[in-house]
Structure 1
């Protein structure tokens, strides 16, 4: 009887090992590189649900926070950091930066740096201009504050209320080093997270950090 149990236990271990080695997340993990998942306009009341979905599915992302929200909800900024996310600067009030003065652009960026740092999010090294609108003046002011400007390679258009299917499908366009735009608030974005994780794993892609040096997604350091 004892010998029979030992044999059964050994067989179970072999079977379990076979399942693990055969799963896409193990067999093909990161073989095709890294992509940058990004979420704009937080933190919001939706942030805890978003963070839970990301953590449960083994994903990390860059959260481009607005300064006014970081100042209002510092606990959520801390929660983003605790969940392993990276924090970026997305201006203070989300204006069209190309329509305001240099002094106002500087204020939008510098106040957000201060708000995120004060909330426990560290000093951001990445900056995403609202609406993706930029020019040489905006870039130079961001650089003065030690920030690398990050736009995006692919957008999900989740802000417009598109379906979960559309949000997931957008991720099929990603290739190594690229970034994708999502937002903190849309409920369909949260609902899409498990399928996004499955899709990336099936394509041999991992969620990485965005390098301040190159602006491309790389392996987390």
Structure 2
């Protein structure tokens, strides 16, 4: 009879030991997970805006693949006529985590047009992108970076924030891959770089751009409609 309670206490002790071991193994994991999240966030000491104009095009798929492979997100300033002709590529941009924006319908010199013509360029692009599945753009880049009070007024009427750039990669002017990488290396927190969807040299530069940003603690962010600066993605 005396062995009954003793055995019960012995079994209870073993069970408590098992529970304690299980709890001890879980707590460090929970703490490790909690500590890991801030560590990942701390890796981004600032954000830059990677932008690609003139798409979507036959080069879009390769560009999206390169961006995704290197963990980069970007803002795609699409021409309305190209969005209308390539709706699947607009959807692919969204599916790849990119932000789709307005770059006019036919890429004209807007400052040489009257208000009605400017309105048509912007309005048709808003519709083309929305119809293609790209959502309603919040950002607008005038072709060639050319703007004036009338262009700004019309863009604002459609709830668009005008975005130019801080750094020009010169890819449109035949810049080499090395030169494009060097241009991206000049980016600082909040700044935006101009690149193009169709440039083979820009495509080749993507891995090195990603490596350079990472080495400087910079991450590819979204462009805020409120400030026009690159910020953490939401």
TM bin (shorter chain): 0.7 to 0.9
Question: Which of the numbers 23, 36, 48 marks the counterpart of 2:61?
Answer: 48
Q: What is the distance in 1 between the residues matched to 2:127 and 2:197?
A: 21
Equivalent runs, 1:1-221 vs 2, <5 Å: 29-31=43-45, 33-221=46-234
Q: Name the CA distance, whole Å, in 1 between partners of 2:228 and 2:42.
A: 25
Q: Which moved more, 1:124-133 or 1:157-166?
A: 157-166
Contact in 1 for aligned 2:185/2:209 (Cα 8 Å)? no
* Shift of residue 36, structure 1, vs aligned partner: 0.2
- Secondary structure at 2:101's aligned position in 1? strand
CA distance in 2, matches of 1:71, 1:204: 38
For residues 96 and 161 of structure 1, the distance between their equivalents in structure 2, rounded to whole angstroms, comes to: 21
Please report the TM-score for the alignment, with normalisation by the length of structure 1.
0.87
Q: Deviations over 1:142-178 (max 9, x none)?
A: 0000000000000100011211110000011111111
Larger radius of gyration: 2
Deviations 1:117-136 (A, max 9, x none): 00000000000000000011
Q: List alignment gaps of at least 5 residues for structure 1.
A: 1-20
Aligned length: 197
Change (3 A) 1:98 1:76: same
1:201-221 Cα offsets, whole Å, 9 max, x none, are 001100000000110000000
Q: Aligned to 2:43, what secondary structure does the other structure show?
A: coil
SS at 2:54's partner residue?
Answer: strand
RMSD: 1.4
Structure 1 pair 169–120 and aligned structure 2 pair: CA distance change class (3 A): same
**Aligned equivalents of 1:200 and 1:26: distance in 2?**
15
- 1:49 deviates by 0.2
Does structure 2 conserve the Cα–Cα contact (< 8 Å) formed by 1:28 and 1:202? no
